Structure 1
Amino acid sequence: MTAATTSEALSVKDQFPGLAGGWHYLDTGATAQKPQAVIDATVAAMGRDYATVHRGVYQRSAEMTLAFEAARRTTAKFIGAAEDEIVFTRGATEAINLVAQTWGRAHLKAGDRILLSTLEHHSNIVPWQLLAERTGVAIDVCPLTAAGTIDLEAAERILTPAHKLVAFAHVSNVLGSVLHVEHAAKLAHGVGAKLLIDGCQAAPRLALDMAALDCDFYAFSAHKLYGPTGIGVLFAKKALLDAMPPWQGGGAMIDRVTFAKTTFAPAPQRFEAGTPMIVEALGMAAAMDWLTGIGIARAEAHERALAATLRRELAARNDVTLFGPDDGLGIVSFALDGVHPHDLGTILDEEGPDGASVAIRAGHHCAQPLMDHLGVPATARASFGVYSDESDIEALLKGIERTRRIFG
């Protein structure tokens, strides 16, 4: 490996307290470590600045309300959307379920069809299956290309006017393959369907512009883009949000309540029942500001270079099977012949002779249909972040060598 492989190298590792001590963290696809700037923002929000929002008339509550809604503006700017198109949820999983249980139940019926793909995360499969059980809607599955991308030519052949929704991942959490969202939107809209995009792996790695992508719904989680857990985002085009019924009832999402009738607040507040995730929203906004300061294009180039380097190193071995396209974004899944991924992950986590411990993901990655397609029960997955560097790859390769020696 040479420095040229990461010409866009970033030097930010020292901003991440969770990486102190030389830990080689290669599981960013599961959850990202947090920079000190985000930690500081959440501590201040939980301590010095804490108060409720949208309710109190005292000064600190008013200030926190302004900060909370400023976080919505930050989120809107981060993804190229309008403020009133941003719904705060507990994560991407809740965001997708919200669409299924509001827009889906209101608009889908027996005889309608939904198109998913082979590589979807369970969170973009199970909500639609639950909806199908209640409504009778049918689910179709789009295959993948040989390289591991969603086959949009096949999607074009599959789609009919009976399809009312297409739900695809922007970036595969297993393969790192990237969807051409604009093309998918054109295909979906061509038959009158809406397009929902799971953007969990894309939001930390790609510059987003909802107007340019032209998807109807976009979901992602804060904890994968260096923010806190417990909060995520649903983007929906305003006309769709305005027409969607509420999902959960409670405080904050109402206009007026009587025992005879309740009227509801306009979107997006209609979908944010109860006391919101105040601290988490401010932490997410801090993460977006931090990542914007780094430069999302630099982050993408950095992670692409690291993934390409690791794929090249693993491809040189005759005992490794690689999955996914050569240009996968920040994620490399592989199998070491004769070694279960769980065994590899366990050995990598043990300190080797040089004291290095490496964290990877080993399992089906909440994508069991994709594992069935690949013909494996599980894969080992190394996923990079802005804090990753060549030393992490070197430690992983040494750990693989040590594992091979243990297994003979």
Structure 2
Amino acid sequence: MTVAVVGVGYTDFRSATPDVTFKEQMFEAAVKAYTDAGVSPRKDIGSFITGAEDYWEGYSIFDEFVPDQLGATLRPVCTISGDGLQALMTGVMQVETGMFDIVAIEAHSKASDMLSFTGIVSHGLDPVYNRSMNVSPFFVAGLEMRKYLSETKTTREQCARVVVKNKKNALDNPLAAYPASMSVDEVMNSEMVSDPLSRRDLSPLADGAIVFVLASEKRAKELSDYPIWLKGLSWISETPWLESRNWSEATYAKLASKKAYKMAGIIDPKKQLDLVEVDDWFSYKELQHLEAIGICEKGQAGKLLEQGKFDRNGETPVNVSGGRLGAGNLLEASSLQSVLECVLQLRGHAGKRQIKNARTAAAQSWRGIPTATGSMLILSNEK
């Protein structure tokens, strides 16, 4: 591929933002991204894409609110009803067609405006067999966690260590909503949500917005002194049926990573990736995703975590940003938060959490329960 990130813009991520609307958040992030890229939305950008789900927004046909905030009035605008990484990949494909040299990508979260997050998630369940049970949708994560722990011999303590690590990493991320110094016992002794899933195993919701500017190779070299090249990408949706999926591993992540690695020429991800941002909507998912994308063998992630292999100074730094557990669950924008961290690291702009000599990074996403949809993106500061 010959597409690069040339501009990034973002707001802080906060547990609640009663003083601003989602439109103001989008505008703030967009202005920063266009300034970073040195482009005008009216003169330079050919297409605008947002990753959003009407259920989260509380509006039907949400993209009617997109043009004004992004400077996209009377321009091509589309909404991807998926996570931000899927929207970004749509932008890559648009640039690859040759029809657009520059494309803007946006995703955001105004989760604090929701009256019932679990009520919305429940609407994603099968209405006949699952939703009609009228229980918290987190039972899906509880069952999957139980199956994963049972089959791989991973422990609850190892999952709790994911929370401790990511919240600690978030202490050095000024954007993060939930940085904390926390003990394993504090995680394990928190309120049980769906055994063995405790309250602190869940990533807390947050508000925020992120905008990226993508450009073709020619324009990227003209616009940026440090373009970040998108080397490989893929997204996969496996079965939507809870009753027929593999509960012990993340098949979607395994399939998506294989395709992305092949496109990027990654043969040994453990050696070739300098950092990895994986989805940690729930603590056990970080371990499950690391195994699925080939960072370690199935059942080994928890042990390697205990050995410090995934710490910031470890062999493969994982979720240096703090992930969803530390930065906050930004809904469809969480995957762009992962990409943002990769871009900042590869630019050398990550501040206290900077990984030395980072050249290649991976961002992996999952759309959350009850889906089995995931994406994978490989980035590099080397063409």
TM-score normalized by structure 2?
A: 0.24
Who wins on radius of gyration, i.e. which is larger? 1
TM-score normalized by structure 1?
A: 0.23
